Amino acid sequence: MTLLLLVRHGETDWNVSQRFQGHTDVPLNEKGRQQAAAIAQRLASEEIHAIYTSDLSRARDTAVEIAEFHQNEISADPRLREGDFGEWEGATYDEIQNNYPELVKAWHEDLVNFAPPAGETPHQLAERVASLYEEIKTKHQDETAILVAHGGSLQILLCIMLNIPIGKFWQFNLAPCSLSQVSVYEEGAIINLLNDTSYLTLNLER
């Protein structure tokens, strides 16, 4: 069995303004840095064998906070990046709908195979996430690994682990700096914890 701890990165200003981030390297804001410190405290007592992160700074900086309590090197891997939204990055949904009404219609009609201009499809995102997932399962049998990534890439990963259609990714809600825990067996995966943010409230109110 491999135990995976899935962490979405802390908050950014684009999260607050609800802008598509994708591959754009948007940094954590002040609240995001506080959140990263809070989840680091939450995971401080866990026995961790490996830490993987997206190479984008909002995820990588969250992982750096977590690694402060452990002796693991951080493995930054672009396969954990958010989906590439191409020309839509930096825009809100309303802005995209106003500027690309026909494309938005096509997007809603085929979530899995649609790509924004100069972007990638969820199917392409799934292929890169799945390749890393297979490597981690093989390398970390009977170990615990942390994956710090993005809402989209982690939603897709959950679909892959549970063997459900990747078009259902939107049914997983993963808040900034949330923690999910999945036990991965040869027969399949079991979700033990999903979208936990209780430690954020406790730490940020102190």
Give the neighbor-by-neighbor strand order of the sheet with 179-185.
74-76, 50-53, 144-149, 2-8, 179-185, 188-196
Domain span at 24: 2-85+121-204
Residue 13 lies in a domain: yes
Q: What is the pLDDT along the chain (206 residues), one digit of tens a residue?
A: 999 999 999 999 999 999 999 999 999 999 999 999 999 999 999 999 999 999 999 999 999 999 999 989 999 999 999 999 999 999 999 999 999 999 999 999 999 999 999 999 999 999 999 999 999 999 999 999 999 999 999 999 999 999 999 999 999 999 999 999 999 999 999 999 999 999 997 655 44
Which of 93, 90, 46 has the alpha carbon at shortest distance from 70? Answer: 46
**Domain count along the chain:** 1
Which residue bears the tokens 């943010």?
A: 197
What's 42's domain CATH number?
3.40.50.1240
- Kindly list the catalytic residues: 9, 150
